[in-house]
Structures are given as structure tokens and as C-alpha cells.
Amino acid sequence: MLLSLGTAGVLFAGLLAGPASAAAAQGPARGTVQSAAPGAVTQKTASHTVAAPAVKVAVGKVKASPARHSGGCPATVDFSAVIAAKGTGTVKYRWVRGDGSRGSVKTIKVRGATTRKTVVRDRQSFDWNVSGWQAIEIVGRKGLSRKAYFNVSCSGGEPVVYDRTHPLPPAPDPTGKPSPGPTDRPQEPVRAAASVTATPAAYTGPCPATGQPVRFDALIQVDRVPARVAYQWIDSADGAGPVQYLDFAAADARSRTVSLTHPVKTTATGWKSVDIISPAGSVDSLRANYSVTCADPAPEQKITPAAAVDKPSYTGTCPVALTFTGTITVTKVPVKVKYQWRDSQGGVGPEQELEFTGTPGGKPVTPHTMTVRYDDEVPTVKGAGTLRILSPAAEPDVAQAAFTVTCTGGTTPPPAVVTASDIKVEPSSYTGPCPGSYGVAHTVSAKITVTKPMTVKYQWISHQGPWPGPDSVFSVTFTEPGSKTVSNTFGSGPNGYKGTKRLKIVDPAGGGETADASFNTVCVNPDVTASDMKVDPAHYTGPCKTPADVERSVSAKIKVTKPMAVKYRWIDQQGRPWFSSGPFSTTFHSAGSKTVANGFKSVATARGSVRLEVVEPAGVPVTEAAEFSTVCVNPSVSGVSKQRTDENEECGPGRSAEFALSAKLAVADGPASVGYRWYRRSNETGNRWTLISGGTASFTGTGKQEKTITGTYGTRRSESGYFKVELTEPYEGSAQTGFLVTCQSRHDR
């Protein structure tokens, strides 16, 4: 019922201007300055701002049409209300729905003493059983208008959907045969159908300032041409859009696609559908749901080394030992960082590795020591210890700790009886074929000089430590003072080799060591190439207890220039066989390319990468890495509860019993989105589960997370039964609680 504007003045004073202004709204004194409540309309004068004359507002005739629907779905429910306003100003309002959602804020401008009545409308489409209500809210004020209740009961099985996969059948001609094109014979009225898809249906990532665009494509079909279709878009927040028309000429196809772009600037969920206004008897589309989760992009990896020395400035007796310490900090995990110490006196530490898991941050590296000895000719020594990142690539990749040592005394060491020099590796640089498993042969040599007859024990040191092994010590005997050249050989292997070699005197002690001699061998086999590495699925989010439950396949392309057999294997980021695979073999009977693939399961790591390595023939570069990740969501629902939210001692006609439903939804990992639906089963549903409402919960973090999911239900009849919340596919899980409500109505007498 629409209130009279005499009553509406009190309504505005109570709801729109606040309790303090209620009396003033009925007759304010001329010239009195009124306080404007938050959101109230104001007007400016030449000297100051005063409250605008009170706008009297009343809301009535809130209706749902049809209030009850039983039959085929999707079904469309139209909502309308009359807002009567008198005065000068702006009235802001919006539709509020029983499922907790709200429409967008809209405005009505009024001016003058004449009452302006405005019919406001909303339209919603449903493809499942649902009961609810809608009402008008005057923005900024407490309370709602009278609620318009509705009930949709879908029958006849699943909703009829006509889309590209299942097109609308052509209308039969008067003879009973299908008529795909135009005809002059009398025919049945044109029938139309619509279907809508959202792209992307779910998005998680950074949202631009202009909004993440979600495109809705509506396929509109007719069963014969020519035809004219009147349709309108329905939005979950804004209701019905303007009526639009689509004309099909006699020579046109029976389907056409219309599109709409909806930019989303914040995390949100919603839907759009299309209703066919005419011709009558057409099939409306189902809802096209979308979900946008705005999240900051993952930080880029940054690896930062830091170095320090315990005696940055030292004055005293020598020899003195200096100890260098350091840390490596990363911004992204997991990652393995290789590093090495070097000092200004030629000392080189072994290659070492730090593994970072859990959370980003810093870790200490193994310390490095060096000794500064006394030299009366050079009493002050300046230098530095350098901590270098070897892999992954970092910028900067070194950190230095400088020192200054001033020796005030000590014993000058006697001249060395053994020295090592002239270290070299031949060839030091090579690019080309590397035949066989040994590859290219290299020779490392150095010169040892003695000042008296002796046997010298020495050791070769590579960038990876003592070579060929930790206990490999060689010897050379001098029968007189002089020099000798010692050497050893090693192969590059089929895949190339890069590093350093040096010679260290083991006995007698203090004989020193040479500098490093570097080498680099790049093996190239022009007859075979490997590329296009892929993992499927590359990124999986869904049901699984552990990452080992997800089956994957890997594939890559191998190309040859002549007939041959190729052996290959799959390797992980550390170069190890991926899940103990291979080697596998494929035979080419002529020049060309093949895509090779293998299936794997029980990969226990949640994240990693895979590459293809050609084992034979040798010298084929490995492919680029294909990364994969797994998010085992494992959702569970528990703690279902209900709470009466109405203030009615008894429910019945005009006084419904309102329930607020809630439950705990937890996931084992994320980010992920989990859908759920609320059901009820009672004496009113014939003891069958009936849908109340549904929704989607978005989890943006990683690891275990929990959210509260909610729903609402209202009834004016006595009812006893159960509420249940159930997870939607692909997930499983449910929980329920009982309820009982007694109402006084004709139904209960």
C-alpha cells in the first residue's frame, strides 16, 4: 500500500532526517538552520550552507510478479515499487535482496511542491528452486520498505538450454518438414532462445585501474527467418537493462552473437543473463556466473648477497687470520642458490649451495678464512673477500668486504723451496661436436719448481673441489733443483663442460698453489634439436589429497636432419631424471620432426619444472624448462548454524520467520574458489532437499585458510526439518542442522 504524503513527512523525518529532525520536518520555523544528517540533501546560499527543505518520501506497492512460479526454468521474476517524493532534492535508493546482495544505488531528483510518483523496477532470473524477497532501501537510513516475497519451483528436470552445442531446432513447415530457410506458407509464430557465456568465468590476478574486463557473449537463435527479437540483459546487481532489438533478414543465418563488456575494479562475483521479451514462448538464457579476485602479482625473484669481515682494519703482529661472513637474501621461495668465496690473495672456496623453503628471507653462508703474513717490504696490505652468486642469475651478483692490515712485526718467512706456476687448460674454449660419451679431450698442465732435490706431492683442484676425487694426490720426484711440467687429462662429456682447474702443493707444506685456469666447452650437434617443452596440466587447482594424486603428461618436439634413432629422457630443475624416467627411444626413418610424450603420476612436489634431454646422440642442448604447480584445495565444511533474525514473537501472514544461516568453509591450500549451495528439507518440501541459494567463496592466499559462508531463509508457515550446505562440483562435502518454527496462518489451522 502506498502511504499518503501526509504520513510520508513523518516517514522522512524518522528515516531520512533522523529523530532530532522529526518534529521540524512537519513545520520548521522560517529561517531556522537545520542540521543535515549524513547523506541528507543540502543546498547552498550566498553566505552559508543550510539543510534543504525536507523531501517527503514514501515507498509502497512493492510487488513481485509472478510471486509464485511453478514450471519450466529459467524463470524471470519482475519486481516493482512506487516511490512518491515531494520537495526539492535527490532521493537515493537501491534494491535489497533476501540472499544478502544489493543492487546499485540509483537516484530520483524532485523539485517543487507537486508529488512525483516514480515506478522503480528490478528483474532477476532463476534456474533453480528458490524462495526469497526484495525490498527498497533509502540509502543512508535504517529500515527497508515492505518486502515482496517470491517462490520459484522448477519442474520438468534440467532447464532447457539451446547453445552452440545444442542449437535451437528449425521450425517445421506446414507439411511437417523442417524449414531451415524462408517460406511463403503460413507458419507457427517465431520462437527464439538465448544462451550466455562469460570470459573469463573466473579470474585471479592484478586488476587494472580501469577494471578487469569480463566479456559476456549472448548467442541468440530463432527457429526461422525472417524474425525480430526483443531482448534485454539481466544483471545480478542492476537488474534489467534496456530492451534491445535484433533483426534477422530472410537470407540471414538463424543465430547471432551479441556481446557486452563489464569492467570489474574490485574483487567481486556476479552473473548476467538474457531474457527474450518477444516473441512469446521463447527460451531465456541461464545465468553466466563470473568471479574476479583482484590480487597483487607475485613478487619477482631478487637474490641479494652481503659480506662482512671480522677485522676490517687491523694493526698488529702478523701473521693474522681474517674471517669473512655473509648472508644471502631471497624474495621468493622455493629456490636453491649456489655461491663461492674468493679473496684478494687468490684464495678460492668451494662451490656451495643454500636451499630456501618456507618463507622468503636471509640465510648465513659458510664463512671463509684467509691469512695475511708479515712482509717487511710491504707492511700494509689492502684487499677484500668477495661473495659471488653463481646461480640463479642475480644483479648484483657479488658482495665485498674490504680490509686493511698493517703488520707492525713478525718473522720474515724463508724463501720457498717449492713453487707452482704456469697453469693452463688446452683447449680453453671450444664450440662444436662432442663425440661419444667422453666428449672433447682437455689437458691441464702446470709447472713445479724446487730449490733442492725432493719429492713433491700435489693435487688438482677444480671449481667443484679436489679432482678427480677428494683423495686424489699425485707426486713428482726431483733429483736436483729445477722445474718440471705435470699434466692430466679429462673429457668434456657429451653435453659440454665449463669450470676452472688449479694445482695445489700438498707436501711440503706451504708450497702454495697456482691461480685458476678457466675453460668452457659448448657441445653442439647440428643434426638434432629439441624444443616445445610442455607439461599438461601445467597448473592444477582442484580436488587432490596430495600433489602425487595428480596425473600429468609431458611432451616435446624432436627434429632431425637425417634418419637416426634418438634416445631421450625427462629431467627436473636439478638435472636429475624426472620421476626416474627413461631413457626412452624414438626412431626417425627420414628427416623431420616428432612430438614425444610420456605420462607420469605421483609427482610429490607441488611446484617444479621439467626439461627434455637428448641422451644419444650427444651434444644436443636441453629444452627450455616447462614449469608446473599443484594446489590441492581439499575443502571441508562444518559448524552449520542457524539464527532467527526477525523480531516476531509469532510468524504468519505479513510476519515471516527469518533465519540467518552460516557455516565454516576451510581449504588446505590456495588460491582457489569453492562453490556451495544451501538446501532445506522439511514437511513443506515433502521431505526432499530443496535449493535455497548458492554462492562462491574465494581464497586468495596460500596454505590453510577458513571463511564463514552465509545464507538466509524465510517462512510464514509452521515448518520442521533440516538446513544443509553442500559443496558444488568438483568438490564434495556437506553439513546440516535441524530447525523448527511454528506460525499462525490459515495453512497451520
Q: Mark whether 26 and 127 lie in a shared domain.
A: yes
Q: Which residues contact 188 (CB under 8 A, 6 or more apart)?
A: 171, 172
Q: Which residues contact 254 (CB under 8 A, 6 or more apart)?
A: 167, 168, 170, 180, 221, 222, 223, 224, 225, 248
Higher pLDDT, 471 or 407: 407
Determine the length of the chain. Answer: 749
Query: What band does 21 get if pLDDT is binned at 50, 70 and 90?
Result: very low
* pTM, two decimal places: 0.35
Q: Mark whether 604 and 659 lie in a shared domain.
A: no
Of 294, 319, 349, the last residue of a domain is: 294
Q: Mark whether 391 and 451 lie in a shared domain.
A: no
Q: What is the pLDDT of residue 616?
A: 86
Higher pLDDT, 423 or 102: 423
Cis peptide before 392 (omega within 30 of 0): yes
- 182 within domain boundaries: no
- 184 within domain boundaries: no
Rg (CA), the chain: 40
Residue-wise pLDDT tens digits, 453-495: 889 999 999 988 899 887 889 999 998 899 999 999 999 887 7
Q: Give the number of other CB atoms < 10 A from CB of residue 491.
A: 15
Q: Mark whether 221 and 84 lie in a shared domain.
A: no
Q: Is residue 247 scored above 90 in pLDDT? A: yes
Residue-wise pLDDT tens digits, 541-600: 888 888 777 888 889 999 998 899 999 988 887 788 876 567 889 999 998 999 998 877
Range of the structural domain that residue 352 is part of: 303-409
Q: What is the pLDDT of residue 499?
A: 93
Torsion of CA 462, 464, 470, 474, to 10 degrees: 0
Q: What is the pLDDT of residue 181?
A: 53
Q: Mark whether 558 and 542 lie in a shared domain.
A: yes
Q: Mark whether 627 and 643 lie in a shared domain.
A: no
Q: What is the pLDDT of residue 581?
A: 63
- 724 within domain boundaries: yes
Candidate from 2-11, 670-679, 715-724 with smallest mean pLDDT: 2-11
Rounded CA separation 482/707 (Å): 81
Q: Mark whether 15 and 148 lie in a shared domain.
A: yes
DSSP string, 329-369: EESSSSEEEEEEEEETTS-BPPPEEEEE-SS-EEEEPPPEE
Rounded CA separation 21/24 (Å): 5
Query: Residue 599 maps to which CATH number?
Result: 2.60.40.10
Give the number of domains in the chain.
6
Percentage of the chain modeled with pLDDT above 70: 87
Q: What is the DSSP letter of 283?
A: B
Q: Is residue 647 scored above 90 in pLDDT? A: no
Q: Give the number of other CB atoms < 10 A from CB of residue 155.
A: 10
Q: Secondary structure of 170-216 in the HEC alphabet?
A: CCECCCCCECCCCCCCCCCCCCEEEEEEEECCEEEECCCCCCEEEEE
Of 228, 263, 294, the last residue of a domain is: 294
Percentage of the chain modeled with pLDDT above 90: 38
Q: What is the DSSP letter of 26?
A: H
Residue-wise pLDDT tens digits, 215-227: 999 999 999 999 9
Q: What is the pLDDT of residue 72?
A: 76
Q: Mark whether 424 and 442 lie in a shared domain.
A: yes
Q: Which residue type is seen at 642? A: K
- 502 within domain boundaries: yes
Higher pLDDT, 609 or 125: 609
Rounded CA separation 506/470 (Å): 13
- 398 within domain boundaries: yes
Q: Which residue type is seen at 291? A: S
Q: Mark whether 465 and 493 lie in a shared domain.
A: yes
Of 586, 602, 632, the last residue of a domain is: 632
- 221 within domain boundaries: yes
Contact 664, 706 (CB under 8 A): yes
User: Across-strand partners of 124?
Assistant: 77
Mean pLDDT estimate for the chain:
83
Q: Determine phi and psi for 437, rounding to 5 degrees.
A: -80, -20
Smallest CA-to-CA distance from 733 within 643, 659, 667 is with 667
Q: Mark whether 26 and 135 lie in a shared domain.
A: yes
Q: Which residue type is seen at 731? A: Y
Number of alpha carbons in the 13 Å side-chain half-sphere of residue 415:
5
Q: What is the pLDDT of residue 35?
A: 31
Cell digits for 622? 636441453
Q: Is residue 244 scored above 60 in pLDDT? A: yes
- 160 within domain boundaries: no
Higher pLDDT, 180 or 31: 180
Rounded CA separation 683/685 (Å): 6
Q: Mark whether 404 and 427 lie in a shared domain.
A: no
β pairing state of 465-467 and 441-450: unpaired
Q: What is the pLDDT of residue 219?
A: 94
- 384 within domain boundaries: yes
3-state SS assignment for residue 579:
helix
Q: What is the pLDDT of residue 488?
A: 94
- Say how far residue 299 (Cα) sits from the centre of its chain: 13
Rounded CA separation 473/495 (Å): 28
Q: Mark whether 126 and 13 lie in a shared domain.
A: yes
Q: Which residues contact 694 (CB under 8 A, 6 or more apart)?
A: 128, 675, 676, 677, 678, 728
E strands, 52-183, where?
A: 56-65, 68-71, 75-86, 89-97, 106-110, 116-126, 130-138, 148-154
β pairing state of 398-409 and 313-317: parallel
Higher pLDDT, 265 or 441: 441
Residue-wise pLDDT tens digits, 309-326: 999 999 999 889 999 999
| Over residues 489-514, mean pLDDT | 88
